[in-house]
Chain A
Amino acid sequence: MNGDHQALALLLFSAFIAVTLAITTWVSRNRHGSAEEFYVGGRLFSPMENGFAIAGDYMSAASFLGISGLIALYGYDGMLYSVGFLVAWLVVLLLVAELVRNCGRFTLADVLAARMRERPVRIAAGTSSVTVCVLYLVAQMVGAGSLVALLLGGTSAAARSWTVVGVGALMVIYVSLGGMRATTWIQIVKAVLLMAGAIAMTVMVLMRFHGDFGRLLNSAAARSGQGMDFLAPGLRYGGDWTASLDFISLGLALVLGTAGLPHILSRFYTVPTARAARRSVVWSIGLIGSFYLMTIVLGFGAAAVVGTEEVRASNAAGNTAVPLLALDLGGGAGSTGGTVLFAVVAAVAFATILAVVAGITLASSASVAHDLYATLRSRGQSGRQPYGEVAVARVAAVCIGAVAIALGLLARDLNVAFLVGLAFAVAASANLPVLLYSLFWRNFTTRGAVWSVYGGLVPAVLLVVLSPVVSGSEQSLFPGVDFHVFPLENPGLVSIPLGFLAGWIGTVVSSEPPDPAKHAETEVRALTGAGAV
């Protein structure tokens, strides 16, 4: 990774930043400053645009570099991830997208508040949404720091800190100035870049092996040092029952968590109808599915072309597998083609991070302003609030950005790879049960809703604190101490059933009877779109 890479990569980074800032300025040139405009871009995106934006929102740098890297290191076990990330979209398509679009306005809490007493459910859903966002955001920020430093060669602490600060500042600018419209266009641009980059590299890998996938697999197995074991599961998650249960737990969290991610839910409100929401999910499933199919080729390609040991030597987590593959496909280190491809991959990874963090920041600012602030302010006061909701949302975006930067800097040297899995687990345990119950269960009550959120959120966070990722092993957050009592790294296997159970118990012991009229309203609106905004 010489100076040429760095210069070219920096040039492409700057070009992307310039283009996205131009987009932000352009879309906010004559905005109305309404909540409708800020949170959901006026609900005027087409299904195709929204489909690309959803794909751009969802495919993080962890999927682009991380999953291909895992495949390059562990072969088949890396592929298990991508299957979970894709199958999750069936839950979104079948159970959530259309119904949520019909029932809500901006956030998850809107759907619940349509049926329940507004104040407690808004606070509960807002809290869990912000928790999910912050967990996800910190993971992305720390990842961004180490990734950009890795790609640019400068692995010094200062370079990483400045990357975290820079990414945080940019995402705050996009979100607070451009709102949903700017965020969406950044995600669309990113999705197009990511798909184009992945397609180009996949074609080059397949050409290298004359279009023969079997030959690619055989070379990968041969160069991995594992032989045919490389193509079968077990290299990473095999072994004892804890490792198996841990992966099953993660798989469950991935599949059920996607439908509870606040930044994904808020995307369905950016299209005019439920039908458009469904069509945008169909678009995004097509894009995400083909992207993960390509990461399989890239991962095995990196093992076959670069070699597993070289990948591991460059970065123990495998994050440099795709950049190294790009260097090799372009003609090797020092060649023009290699330099250009490497810089393109680095720029795409950077664009990916920016688009994802912007989406999450926007979703969490909506939760803070629309759910938490509006509810807490309105106690005891009737009438207008002193500040407009959009102004609060902009300030919230700045504050969340500051918190994310601070946590990102604090956690800079810590192993935070578990945070993404945790964010999905919290989303699956706290957000999904309450969402499904209130859409489909006639007798669900306010107490059930509140218990369901906290009954998933608290165990998920608590179990992680008591798990080996925080204490008790070499790779822990705090390697010095040991207070772990829960054996799994991902809490999903326990906390997701607890979330559903708490919602059921809360409803059963509820003193207030369920309101059949409210249930009828939710059900009729969800399935027909009557009264949808």
Chain B
Amino acid sequence: MVEKQEDRDVAPVRLDDPWCDALASGWSDRDGTGAPAPERPLATGDGPTAGPSAGDIYLEVQRSEAFQEVRARYRRFVVPACAAFLVWYLAYVVAATTAPGLMARPVAGAVNVAMVAGLAQFLTTFLLTWAYARHARLRRDRAALDLRWDTQEMTRAVGR
């Protein structure tokens, strides 16, 4: 909680992060009136469709630019990465089972194409792991944490 508090304190001065402005002027502004806003539907009590329920809040967060940006960053990395490693792995397995002649071609000494390809699978797995962890840490974690904090504030306000 302490680090989240700090995040909120420094958020307005992080001008180098363009979508932070979107956060400030986006969905959080619609609730920007503060605490009284979410209490309105509870007071009127016209049933679940009358005001922002927890579901509405999640829909609102989902539509917000800040969330769209986090999701886009996640997908832009994960979709091509998954496609790439699955194709690379399937190509390797198919080649190993159906084209042993190609795989047996020597490269250097006792090392042949098959051995290089197998060790390359290990290497690409390690590299992709490192790249994903780095991408998530630098490009997603901070924004996701801010969103988590704000979303929890909003859902708590409607009494969930």
Q: Mark B residues whose CB is within 8 Å of A.
A: 53-56, 58-59, 61-62, 67, 70-71, 74, 78, 81-82, 85-86, 89-90, 92-94, 96-98, 100, 103-104, 106, 108-112, 114-115, 118, 121-122, 125-126, 128-130, 132-133, 136, 141, 144-145, 147-148, 151-152, 155, 160
Contact = CB atoms under 8 A, between A and B. Distances in A.
A228 B110 CA distance: 8
Contacts of B160: 531
Interface string A263-284: 0000000000001001101100
A251 interface: yes
A251 B89 contact: yes
11 contacts: A79-B118, A94-B132, A232-B114, A233-B100, A251-B89, A281-B129, A285-B129, A289-B125, A292-B122, A517-B56, A524-B61
Given A93-B132, A95-B78, A528-B147, 7 more contacts: A76-B103, A221-B110, A233-B103, A282-B133, A285-B125, A286-B129, A525-B58
A86 B121 contact: yes
Interface stretch (A131-139, A236-244, A473-481): A236-244
B117 to A, nearest CB: 9
Contacts of B100: 232-234, 238
A229 interface: yes
Contacts, number: 169
A80 interface: yes
Nearest to B78: A94
B70 to A, nearest CB: 6
A407 interface: no
B103 A232 contact: yes
Contacts of A293: 122
A28 interface: no
B114 to A, nearest CB: 5
Contacts of B145: 528-529
A211 interface: no
Interface of A: 76-77, 79-80, 83-84, 86-87, 89-91, 93-95, 98, 214-215, 217-218, 221, 228-229, 231-234, 237-238, 243-244, 247-248, 251-252, 255, 275, 278-279, 281-282, 285-286, 289, 292-293, 296, 516-518, 520-521, 523-525, 527-532
Contacts of B67: 524, 527-528
Contacts of B129: 89-90, 93, 281-282, 285-286
B30 to A, nearest CB: 16
Nearest to B96: A233
A76 B148 CA distance: 48
Contacts of B74: 527
A528 B144 contact: yes
Contacts of A86: 121-122, 125
Given A90-B85, A524-B61, A528-B70, A233 B97 contact: yes
Contacts of B58: 517, 520-521, 524-525
B59 A76 contact: no
